[in-house]
Amino acid sequence: MATIKDVARKAGVTVTTVSRVMNNRGYLSQETREKVRNAMEELHYKPNAIARSLFAKRSGIIGLILPSLRHPFFAELAGFIEHFAHIYSYKLLICDSNLDAVREKEFVDLLKSNQVDALIMGSHTLDVKEFAGLHYPIVTFDRIIEGLPYVYSDNYQGGIFAAQALLHAGCHHVAHICGNLQLDLLSNDRTKAFLQVMNDHGINPIVVQTETNVFDYAHYEEMIYPLLKMHADLDGIFATSDLLAAYVVRACYEMNIRVPQDIKVIGYDDVYLSELLVPQLTTIHQPVREMAEMAVRIAIHGEDEKFQQDNIFPVRLVHRATC
Amino acid sequence: MATIKDVARKAGVTVTTVSRVMNNRGYLSQETREKVRNAMEELHYKPNAIARSLFAKRSGIIGLILPSLRHPFFAELAGFIEHFAHIYSYKLLICDSNLDAVREKEFVDLLKSNQVDALIMGSHTLDVKEFAGLHYPIVTFDRIIEGLPYVYSDNYQGGIFAAQALLHAGCHHVAHICGNLQLDLLSNDRTKAFLQVMNDHGINPIVVQTETNVFDYAHYEEMIYPLLKMHADLDGIFATSDLLAAYVVRACYEMNIRVPQDIKVIGYDDVYLSELLVPQLTTIHQPVREMAEMAVRIAIHGEDEKFQQDNIFPVRLVHRATC
DNA sequence: TCTTGTATGTCAACCGGTTGACATACAAGA
DNA sequence: TCTTGTATGTCAACCGGTTGACATACAAGA
């Protein structure tokens, strides 16, 4: 590949002049600019971003660690983060931890080695103390880590909305399906709020959690079928993702339980999936797009400190056909 | 951040010795190794991957350009590619072209500047000649570009399977929904084969294409509702992605058309979505996992030339509930 | 005449690593 | 005694850019 030296030779100038043309510094005649530009084009020259990064001590790359790219919520989140990163002229290095703490730690180190300018953490299997040594800009999604800014939506309110919707629809025998509560996530507030409201109304929901380190969709089925079988009197289910809710809806269909006539179902996230299902899913909307933009902006301008640590976004109930 | 010089100073050796410890070259006593290791740990030292890349002329990064991260097929593909890249100790830089030729070109240049060791192209809005200047390892997904290796599944056979399934189910009035055929993709063979088989049986399907530069799901609805309304006699639809098929199934439900009793539906890809729908989607399975692995292996070992240019994978019909 | 702005060039240092050449020193085996 | 292997160190060059200091030269305006 052509280097700056090849360009300089071809254009009959020094590398300093070529560098000046590229960076628009110092005095340059139009003629020199053109000579250099022509040489660059003829050689298909692209400046080596690695060499530039080394000198500039910034790579223009944001790292993103997610628990799963296949999960529709995170796929959507990744899509938006990529979108905004590109708008702000940053590249994105995406890592899929698959909810594995070892891989997650590897990725954190890897991204540090690769001099990413900032890190957005959407996967949280690591202990908080693993982040003690690293002081570079990290934004956290849905989790509080001492001293780092975090972006999340109003999970507590989401739980309240879900509970109210089920109560309003007349449910009395309610189940709640959620991710593993041992992971120290802010989304656990959905569960907390939901149970609180239900308890206030004298209802004690059955709670089912996924296993800790699993994003395995077969496992979802192994949870849901027994739940429905053992509790024939259930008339309402709140699942903490649209994906989980979709599995619930399908299981109901396979078991000839009608949704919403026999069981009401509420999901969470409001990803494209919720509109796509039959029947369309009633769910709690998270403003993913806005959250993604905020995460990117904090990642980029984190040092300027004009951002708050606590970045909460409102949720809302989206009424569709399952509740 | 600590550099190799800081480590050398702390350990009381020269940078050469530190470098030797890290790369395990030359003679080193156990004692020296430990001194250096300790210094590295105390300083939380991580070697600067950028500096290494510059010297090594390889970055350990594979670039991946996709038309959409939100589309379930590409999300799944990206997930698997990330998985295998990590297994082979490569990082992944993902770019989402959003089916925009300008962005796609920008990304190709960007990845070249960033010295990615190889590029996997899954988005194809660019003209073939844009790739003329670049001679670095590129693997192509679902498209032939002169001189580059490509990975794809047997689209032609997939089209045949779909046609045969609909014919076998007794369909006579058939529609076909596909991506825009102007994009020069191998997946167009699905359409070609499908129409061929249908024509051989005296059936002339209605063909509906998405617009060129759009991955907009609202647009899907604008295509599908009129199709169903204007052709009340349709009894079979072949959609070239599970996502499209899901929109068809939902539209049928909303219009009180029963699937599969009134209309049979066949999708394509066999992503998790197809199992999730109600009713579960009959579809053509693409071995995404295997295709992803092949793409990564070619990307990495491309120069060794032990791989063929033409890498075709078999498809199969997966019988579920919609046909 | 002096100063300032414009237009280039040379040179060297730097970013943070890696590597080859060469030197020194010691122990052990042929 | 000579050779070889082990254990370190110094030095310089390199990867491909960027940047500051300094030099030269010319034109124009004060």
Smallest CA–C1' separation from A19: which nucleotide?
Answer: D18
Structure tokens at B185: 């993709």
- Host H or E run for residue A175: strand A174-178
- Chain C bases closer than 7 A to any CB of the protein: 6-12, 14-21
A250–B76 CB contact, under 8 Å: no
**pLDDT tier, B307 (very low <50, low <70, confident <90, very high otherwise):** confident
Which amino acid, residue A275?
E
Q: Please state, in angstroms and rounded to a whole number, the distance separating the CA atoms of residues B214 and B286.
A: 23
3-class secondary structure per residue, A91-127: EEEEEECCCCHHHHHHHHHHHHHCCCCEEEECCCCCC
Q: Write out residues 96-125 of B within 8 Å (CB-CB) of A.
A: 96, 98, 103, 109-110, 112-115
* Mean pLDDT calculated for residue range B243-271: 96
* B51 beta carbon to strand C: under 7 Å: yes
pLDDT at B19: 93
Query: Is the pLDDT score of B123 beyond 70?
Result: yes
Q: Please state, in angstroms and rounded to a whole number, the distance separating the CA atoms of residues B307 and B311.
A: 9
Which chain A residue lies closest to B83 (C-alpha atoms)?
A: A96
Give the CA-to-C1' distance from A59 to D10 in angstroms. Answer: 33
- Asked if A119 contacts A137 with a C-beta cutoff of 8 angstroms, the reply is yes
Which residues is A139 bridged to in the sheet?
A: A120
pLDDT at B212: 65
pLDDT at A131: 75
Query: Is residue A219 within 8 angstroms of chain B, CB to CB?
Result: no
- Asked if A154 contacts A186 with a C-beta cutoff of 8 angstroms, the reply is no
The percentage of chain B sitting over the pLDDT mark of 90, rounded to a whole number, equals 71
Residue B19 dihedral angles phi and psi, to the nearest 5°: -60, -40
Residue B220: list chain A partners with CB under 8 A: none
Ramachandran bin of B304, using left for φ above 0, alpha for ψ from -120 to 50, beta for the remaining angles: alpha
Q: Write out residues 230-269 of B within 8 Å (CB-CB) of A.
A: 243, 246-247, 249-250, 253
Give the C-alpha distances (Å, rounded to integers) separating B81 from A91, A101, B145: 18, 20, 21
Which amino acid, residue B290?
E
**pLDDT tier, B64 (very low <50, low <70, confident <90, very high otherwise):** very high
Distance of CA A39 to the CA centre of its chain: 43
Number of Cβ atoms within 10 Å of the Cβ of A190: 30
Mean pLDDT, chain B, whole residue set: 91
- CATH entry 3.40.50.720 includes domain A59-152+289-313: no
Query: Is residue A19 within 8 angstroms of chain B, CB to CB?
Result: no
Give the CA-to-C1' distance from B21 to C30 in angstroms. Answer: 33
Which amino acid, residue B249?
V
- Asked if B82 contacts A94 with a C-beta cutoff of 8 angstroms, the reply is yes
Closest by Cα among B180, B129, B118, B179 to B151: B118
Query: Is residue A170 within 8 angstroms of chain B, CB to CB?
Result: no
Residue B310 dihedral angles phi and psi, to the nearest 5°: -100, 110
- Give me the count of residues in chain B: 323
Q: What is the largest CA-CA distance in chain A?
A: 85
Nearest chain B CA: its distance from A142 CA (Å): 20
Give the C-alpha distances (Å, rounded to integers) separating A16 from A13, A30, A47, B19: 8, 16, 14, 31
Nearest chain A CA: its distance from B197 CA (Å): 30
Residue A53: list chain B partners with CB under 8 A: 50
Which chain A residue lies closest to B71 (C-alpha atoms)?
A: A75
Q: Please state, in angstroms and rounded to a whole number, the distance separating the CA atoms of residues B63 and B300.
A: 11
CATH (one of 3.50.50.60, 1.10.10.10, 3.40.50.300, 3.40.50.2300) for A155-286 = 3.40.50.2300
- Chain D bases closer than 7 A to any CB of the protein: 6-12, 14-21
Whether the bond into B226 is cis, omega within 30 of 0: no
Q: Please state, in angstroms and rounded to a whole number, the distance separating the CA atoms of residues B306 and B149.
A: 11
Q: Please state, in angstroms and rounded to a whole number, the distance separating the CA atoms of residues B81 and B290.
A: 10
Q: Please state, in angstroms and rounded to a whole number, the distance separating the CA atoms of residues A150 and A57.
A: 25
Burial track B222-233 (b if 16+ CB lie within 10 A, e otherwise): ebbeebbeeeee
- Asked if A299 contacts A258 with a C-beta cutoff of 8 angstroms, the reply is no
**pLDDT tier, B213 (very low <50, low <70, confident <90, very high otherwise):** low
Give the CA-to-C1' distance from A14 to C9 in angstroms. Answer: 7
Q: Which of A77, A252, A276 to mutate to test the interface with B (most CBs of B within 10 A)?
A: A276
Structure tokens at B83: 């998985």
Q: Which of A1, A257, A278 to mutate to test the interface with B (most CBs of B within 10 A)?
A: A278
A135 versus B211: which is more confidently predicted?
A: B211
Cα angle B203, B206, B207; round to 5: 125
pLDDT at A274: 93
* A16 beta carbon to strand C: under 7 Å: yes
pLDDT at B112: 87
Q: Please state, in angstroms and rounded to a whole number, the distance separating the CA atoms of residues B323 and A46.
A: 52
Note down pLDDT in tens along chain A; length 323 residues.
789 999 999 998 989 999 999 998 888 888 889 999 999 999 989 999 999 999 999 899 999 999 999 899 999 999 999 999 999 999 898 888 888 888 899 888 888 888 899 999 998 888 777 776 666 789 999 999 888 899 999 999 999 999 999 999 999 999 999 998 988 899 999 999 999 999 999 999 999 998 866 567 788 888 999 999 999 999 999 999 999 999 999 999 999 999 999 999 999 999 999 999 989 999 999 999 999 999 999 999 866 667 889 999 999 999 999 99
* A102 beta carbon to strand D: under 7 Å: no
* A102 beta carbon to strand C: under 7 Å: no
pLDDT tens-digit map of B4-34: 999 999 998 989 999 999 998 888 888 889 9
pLDDT at B160: 98
- Host H or E run for residue A140: strand A138-141
A82–B69 CB contact, under 8 Å: yes
Count how many pairs of residues, chain A against chain B, have C-beta atoms within 8 Å.
138
Smallest CA–C1' separation from A57: which nucleotide?
Answer: C15
Kindly list the domain boundaries of chain B, sorted by start residue: 4-43, 60-153+289-313, 155-286
Query: Is residue A43 within 8 angstroms of chain B, CB to CB?
Result: no
pLDDT at A303: 61
Closest by Cα among B99, B95, B92 to B108: B95
Give the CA-to-C1' distance from B7 to C23 in angstroms. Answer: 24
Structure tokens at B261: 């009793």
Topology, domain B60-153+289-313: Rossmann fold (3.40.50)
Q: Which of A50, A243, A246 sits opposite B50 (nearest CB)?
A: A50
Q: Which of A70, A113, A272 sits opposite B48 (nearest CB)?
A: A113
Query: Is the pLDDT score of B289 beyond 70?
Result: yes
pLDDT at A27: 86
CATH code, residues A4-47? 1.10.260.40
Q: Which of B45, B52, B278, B288 to mutate to test the interface with A (most CBs of A within 10 A)?
A: B278
Residue A82: list chain B partners with CB under 8 A: 69, 94-96
Give the CA-to-C1' distance from A16 to D17 in angstroms. Answer: 10
The reply to whether B155-286 shares the fold of B60-153+289-313 is: yes
Q: Please state, in angstroms and rounded to a whole number, the distance separating the CA atoms of residues B266 and B274.
A: 10
3-class secondary structure per residue, chain B: CCCHHHHHHHHCCCHHHHHHHHHCCCCCCHHHHHHHHHHHHHCCCCCCHHHHHHHHCCCCEEEEEECCCCCHHHHHHHHHHHHHHHHCCCEEEEEECCCCHHHHHHHHHHHHHCCCCEEEECCCCCCHHHHCCCCCCEEEECCCCCCCCEEEECHHHHHHHHHHHHHHCCCCCEEEEECCCCCCCCCHHHHHHHHHHHHHCCCCCEEEECCCCCCCHHHHHHHHHHHHHHCCCCCEEEECCHHHHHHHHHHHHHCCCCCCCCCEEEEEECCHHHHHCCCCCEEEECCHHHHHHHHHHHHHHHHHCCCCCEEEECCEEECCCCC
What pairing do the DSSP bridges indicate for beta strands B282-285 and B316-318? Answer: antiparallel
pLDDT at A219: 86
Which chain A residue lies closest to B271 (C-alpha atoms)?
A: A70
